[in-house]
Amino acid sequence: MISGVFFYQRAMPKISTKGIKMPESPIRKLVPFAEGAKRKGKTVFHLNIGQPDIKSPEVALDAIHNFSDKVVEYSHSAGFESYRKGLANYYQNVGINIDHSDVMVTTGGSEALLFALNTCLDNGDEIIIPEPFYANYNGFSISAGVQVKPITTSINNGFALPAIEEFEKLITPNTKAILICNPGNPTGYLYSKEELETLRDIVIKHDLFLFADEVYREFCYDGNTHHSVLNIEGLEQHAVVIDSTSKRYSMCGIRVGCMISKNKDVMATALKFAQARLSPPTFGQVAGEAALSTPTKYFDEVSEEYVARRDLLIEGLNKIEGVICPKPKGAFYCIAQLPVDDADKFAQWLLEDFDYNGKTLMVAPAAGFYSTPNTGTTQVRIAYVLNQEALTEAVECLEKALEIYPGRIR
């Protein structure tokens, strides 16, 4: 005792097991190395993250600038009714017949998926996800106490849906749902109607939910058509769609998305989770509702630009000796197989030790998009969200880097 004060030797409070299990972002974990490269004066081509350089629609920006309410109020927990009705009209215009009561506005697509997981699955339940998949699905599942059961797809067939027999092998009494992203992040794969009907047969047979992340719906190329699970006959009580304004309108920062289902029990239960967080962001909804008036020309021009970027990138990648990269049918990502010993090491080496005429690039190691350990370790995800001139320079940098990388596989 010192001056009447007692000192006790005691352990520090422990972090939760859930927190320890939360994965580090494969997209953002290399940021300190990128910052270091920039401090050295290098130009870094950011191909690691899906932040488009496409301008947001003027109608959305104008709505924020012209906001005149004197109080920024809460909305209904499900979102402003006018916005939900506008969203229902948007879906009806693309052939998806829903009512505004089937729509809940959320804080980005991320919250929509968290609500869906917490609504439909209990702690210890399992969800099957074709991998590679959007890395945050792992984190969302851990947050909800859900176990991911990955089903691996192959770069050799462009990441097509595995056979129904492969799904059957993974289904247990604890399996409650299947999750897909269509078109896919990180592969750009676009599911055919026949593949979605295969998934329908599985979920009906085993009484599962089918979650579909459809945030890249507008970005389908080469005359291919997007098919929503909301339009697959027989899935009315099984399908839950996750959607977002982030990529459709190049407005990632407004953090507004939505959850959609014709299953009334699902939506009523999800509303309780929405009420617990009070309401989605007001300014995000203002921008999102205004964006519904975006002219068709905007999407035509954006799609044309992404096709040009995709073709430039994929052609350039496949010209590099040892690189394999399937041509995506949608979204604005691809997975490339590189002739390297380890993609994580290579990505860090690019930022720490390499430059070509004062330039280098940042990619996302693909292992973080797989749930199966030691899978995708020589693959990277590349987002073609930079202009064509920058993409051309980035591909040239990659080619030069692979020529001298110490861990290159010959």
Is-contact 213 109, C-beta < 8 A?
yes
Checking if the pLDDT of 1 tops 60, the result is no
> Quick one: pLDDT band at residue 333, thresholds 50, 70, 90?
very high
Q: What pLDDT was estimated at residue 160?
A: 94
- pTM for this model (two decimals): 0.93
Checking if the pLDDT of 2 tops 60, the result is no
> Quick one: pLDDT band at residue 17, thresholds 50, 70, 90?
confident
Checking if the pLDDT of 120 tops 60, the result is yes
> Please, what's the largest Cα pairwise distance for the chain?
81
For residue 164, report the phi and psi dihedrals to the nearest 5 degrees: -60, -30
188: left (phi over 0), alpha (psi -120 to 50) or beta: left
- Residues above pLDDT 70, as percent of the chain: 97
Chain centroid offset of residue 401 CA: 28
Checking if the pLDDT of 3 tops 70, the result is no
Checking if the pLDDT of 210 tops 70, the result is yes
> Quick one: pLDDT band at residue 7, thresholds 50, 70, 90?
low
Q: What pLDDT was estimated at residue 25?
A: 77
Checking if the pLDDT of 15 tops 90, the result is no
In total, the chain counts a number of residues equal to: 410
Can you tell me the distance from the alpha carbon of 275 to that of 78, in angstroms, rounded to the nearest whole number?
8
Task: Write out 9-21 in H/E/C secondary structure.
Answer: CCCCCCCCHHHHH
Is-contact 251 24, C-beta < 8 A?
no
Q: What pLDDT was estimated at residue 181?
A: 97
Contacts for 177 with CB less than 8 Å, ≥ 6 apart: 117, 120, 121, 125, 127, 128, 208, 209, 210, 211
Checking if the pLDDT of 9 tops 70, the result is no
Can you tell me the distance from the alpha carbon of 196 to that of 31, in angstroms, rounded to the nearest whole number?
37
Checking if the pLDDT of 4 tops 70, the result is no
Is-contact 373 351, C-beta < 8 A?
no
And the tokens for 103? Answer: 């729509």
Can you tell me the distance from the alpha carbon of 343 to that of 325, in angstroms, rounded to the nearest whole number?
15
What is the average per-residue pLDDT within 109-117?
97
Checking if the pLDDT of 8 tops 70, the result is no
pLDDT in tens, 286-328: 999 999 999 999 999 999 999 999 999 999 999 999 999 999 9
Q: What pLDDT was estimated at residue 14?
A: 87
Could you give the domains of the chain? 17-55+297-404 (3.90.1150.10), 58-291 (3.40.640.10)
Mean of all residue pLDDT scores within the chain: 94
What is the average per-residue pLDDT within 166-184?
97
> Quick one: pLDDT band at residue 6, thresholds 50, 70, 90?
low
> Quick one: pLDDT band at residue 116, thresholds 50, 70, 90?
very high
Can you tell me the distance from the alpha carbon of 203 to that of 262, in angstroms, rounded to the nearest whole number?
16
Checking if the pLDDT of 77 tops 60, the result is yes
**Cα-only R_g, the chain:** 22
Dihedral of alpha carbons 57, 227, 170, 326, sign: negative
Preceding amide of 130 cis, omega within 30: no
Is-contact 298 55, C-beta < 8 A?
no
pLDDT in tens, 378-403: 999 999 999 999 999 999 999 999 99
Can you tell me the distance from the alpha carbon of 356 to that of 33, in angstroms, rounded to the nearest whole number?
17
And the tokens for 221? Answer: 């190329």
Q: Measure CA of the first residue to CA of the last residue in the chain; give whole Å.
A: 68
Coil, strand or helix at 53:
coil
Preceding amide of 183 cis, omega within 30: yes
Can you tell me the distance from the alpha carbon of 114 to that of 242, in angstroms, rounded to the nearest whole number?
10
Single out the residue of 324, 326, 321 nearest to residue 310, CA to CA. Answer: 326
Continuous segment of H or E residues that includes residue 82: helix 81-93
Is-contact 116 354, C-beta < 8 A?
no
> Cα 342–345–350 angle (5° rounding)?
120
What is the average per-residue pLDDT within 113-125?
97
What is the average per-residue pLDDT within 232-256?
96
Is-contact 336 361, C-beta < 8 A?
no
Is-contact 105 80, C-beta < 8 A?
yes
Q: What pLDDT was estimated at residue 98?
A: 96
- Residues above pLDDT 90, as percent of the chain: 91
